[in-house]
Amino acid sequence: MILKRIKTNSGVNLFLIPVAALVFWMKNLLHPTVYNYSVCESQNLLFSPLLRLIGNHPFVHVAVSMLLVVGLGFLMQLVNDRYSFIRIRSKLPSILFVIILGGFVNIHTLHPMYFGAIFVLFAINRLFGMFEKSRPYSVVFDVGFLTGVASLFCFNLIILFPAFLISIAVLSREKKWREFVILFLGFLLPFVFALSYAVLSNNVQEIYEVYKSNITTPVDHFRNNYVLQGYLAVLILFTIIGSLDILKQYDKKKISSRKYFTVFFWVFIFSLISYIFIHAASQEMLVITAIPVTFLIANFFVFTKKKFWGEFLFALLLLSVILVQFAEFIFNG
């Protein structure tokens, strides 16, 4: 019965977004910690001044991360409501996104990826707006610019530029070279501003080293983290189920929905590529991977006609997130 109530389009369900965040962030709110940043993470150009502003206050770090996730949840809902690629109106995507992130307890504190993810969602929102538009040059520029800004918060997000490049080819009515050039120029502009700042402040070498480290510094939060590995195994299972389900629905979906889910597919693929080719990419990139995965799983839950299995699988997902919260107590006695 839980899924039946949550997947409705009732405005009351929007209150479940902050409630879910509060529940799953409660452990970290009660025992707050500051993220163990590498130099490349804490010194990203747009994140470092925010980090200095917030200061070294563990509770504030956790609280701000929770509020950012709530904001991301509302943005997820905004994108779905505006473009209706899940054709049945539902508030499930936003709630499900917060629930999924609830299982990533190691990043329930301030991280530049949360700020970058906000701009990625804004970019996706703008990107979908170019469907069936002729000469969508301003939209394409905005997508590039927002992706560039996201990369200045968390440099690993640069990996999404090729995903948006392919997505423009997917969504564009007329595939012209101008759109790809404009996307690149929009993406490049924030870095031009960053370079200008570096020159004026005489910090070119320092900033270069920071962004170089973002790519070359090896970081691995997955090895020996058996709790996270187990939770990811559950998410992989749900991703496979959602993928098989959408393949069955694919021919019945509207052209726009097919294209939107194709965009999410490429975002998903390139977020996975980051784990392989960017040495510094680790658990924080799961925030981005969770965006397409959330819509995929939400699509399955919304359209499933097998009520028992829908409720059972949703309960399994909830139970997995809850177990993650108490994993330290369970395994450490």
Would the pLDDT of 115 be above 80? Answer: yes
Range name among 43-52, 216-225, 311-320 with the lowest pLDDT average: 216-225
Whether 332 has a pLDDT exceeding 60, the answer reads no
Secondary structure class of 292 (helix, strand, coil): helix
| Mean pLDDT within 91-115 | 93
Q: What is the mean pLDDT of residues 40-60?
A: 87
Q: With residue 276 as reference, give the H or E element that holds it.
A: helix 255-277
Q: Which two tokens stand for residue 263?
A: 């965009």
Percent of the chain predicted with pLDDT > 70: 95
Among 65-79, 130-144, 155-169, name the one with the lowest average pLDDT.
130-144
Cα 131 to Cα 147: distance, rounded to the nearest angstrom: 19
The pLDDT assigned to 240 comes to 94
Determine the pLDDT at residue 221.
65
Q: What is the mean pLDDT of residues 28-51?
A: 85
Contacts by 327-331, CB closer than 8 A, 24 or more apart: 327/105, 327/227, 331/227
Q: Which of 224, 132, 143 is nearest to 186 (CA)?
A: 143
Q: Which pTM value belongs to this model?
A: 0.92
* Mean pLDDT over the full length of the chain: 88
What count of other Cβ atoms lies within 10 Å of the Cβ of residue 252?
Answer: 10
Query: Residue 130 is which amino acid?
Result: M
- pLDDT tens track for 120-151: 999 999 999 888 777 888 999 999 999 999 99
Q: What is the dihedral of CA 247, 158, 180, 259, to 10 degrees?
A: 20
If one counts every other C-beta atom within 10 angstroms of the C-beta of residue 301, the result is 24
Of residues 132 and 17, the one with the higher pLDDT is 17
The b-or-e profile of 55-76 (16+ CB within 10 A means b, else e) is eeebeebbbbbbebbbbbbbbb
Checking if the pLDDT of 310 tops 60, the result is yes
